[in-house]
């Protein structure tokens, strides 16, 4: 990623589907000499609450996997466990959102698996390194990652800042892709229902 040209970063940013949607995001500009952690070490840089949420998600996945082999007898049990898991996800989401630093909270304009576009009052320099915490209310989860500023355009009284993810766990990137597709499906369903009425 660091050896890519700005043009290549824009191409990579555009490879993923982006949805226009507002999610709260904590953004913190890091010093120019900040050294990005290796992707395998990203977990160690996460705030403790994010580490716990990550562990809970991994436990859910492992717990449900053996039930698939039990066939139709396990359907009701799996459904029950999914509801329990959802309750835990909602509680963790509440805890993570309380961890948000509201002084550094911004609203997204668009997001996807490759990056995010934020509305920001101040201009940010291209190439700046950013620490991000994304709060996905619809998925009852949050993501910690690092990003780089690849564009900063003035729009009305603000700036639209495009950030490409430079250090993000694969499962978190998958979550963003899934969340964007869920939101698109919900929007299409809503539009279809409005057309019927």
More confident residue, 110 or 190: 110
Measure the CA–CA gap between 186 and 38, rounded to whole angstroms. Answer: 36
pTM for this entry: 0.79
Give bridge partners of residue 118 from the DSSP assignment: 108, 161
- State yes or no: pLDDT of 18 exceeds 80: yes
- State yes or no: pLDDT of 28 exceeds 70: yes
Measure the CA–CA gap between 71 and 197, rounded to whole angstroms. Answer: 41
Residues 6+ apart with CB under 8 A from 13: 114, 115, 150, 162, 164
3-state SS class at 108: strand
145-179 pLDDT, tens digit per residue, is 999 999 999 999 999 999 999 999 998 898 889 88
More confident residue, 161 or 191: 161
Mean pLDDT across 31-38:
92
- What is the pLDDT, as a whole number, of residue 186? 82
Measure the CA–CA gap between 108 and 119, rounded to whole angstroms. Answer: 6
Q: Which two tokens stand for residue 146?
A: 């690092």
* Domains along the sequence of the chain with CATH: 6-195 (2.40.10.220)
53-82 pLDDT, tens digit per residue, is 767 666 665 665 666 666 666 667 666 666
90-123 pLDDT, tens digit per residue, is 566 555 556 655 567 898 999 999 999 999 999 9
The bridge status of strand 105-112 relative to strand 24-29 is antiparallel
More confident residue, 137 or 37: 37
E strand intervals along 10-157: 18-20, 24-29, 105-112, 115-120, 129-136, 141-155
**Entry field: residues in the chain:** 197
């Amino acid at each position: 990623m660091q050896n890519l040209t700005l043009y290549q970063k824009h191409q990579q940013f555009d490879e993923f589907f982006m949805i226009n949607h507002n999610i709260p995001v904590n953004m913190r500009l890091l010093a120019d000499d900040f050294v990005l952690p290796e992707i395998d070490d990203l977990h160690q840089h996460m705030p403790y609450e994010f580490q716990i949420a990550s562990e809970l998600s991994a436990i859910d996945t492992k717990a449900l996997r053996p039930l698939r082999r039990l066939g139709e007898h396990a359907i009701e049990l799996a459904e029950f466990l999914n509801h329990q898991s959802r309750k835990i996800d909602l509680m963790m989401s509440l805890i993570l959102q309380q961890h948000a630093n509201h002084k550094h909270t911004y609203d997204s304009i668009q997001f996807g698996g490759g990056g995010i576009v934020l509305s920001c009052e101040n201009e940010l320099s291209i190439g700046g390194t950013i620490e991000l915490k994304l709060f996905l209310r619809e998925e009852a989860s949050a993501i910690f990652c690092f990003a780089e500023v690849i564009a900063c355009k003035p729009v009305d009284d603000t700036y639209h800042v495009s950030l490409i993810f430079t250090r993000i766990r694969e499962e978190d990137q998958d979550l963003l892709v899934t969340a964007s597709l869920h939101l698109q499906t919900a929007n299409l369903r809503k539009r279809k229902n409005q057309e019927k009425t």
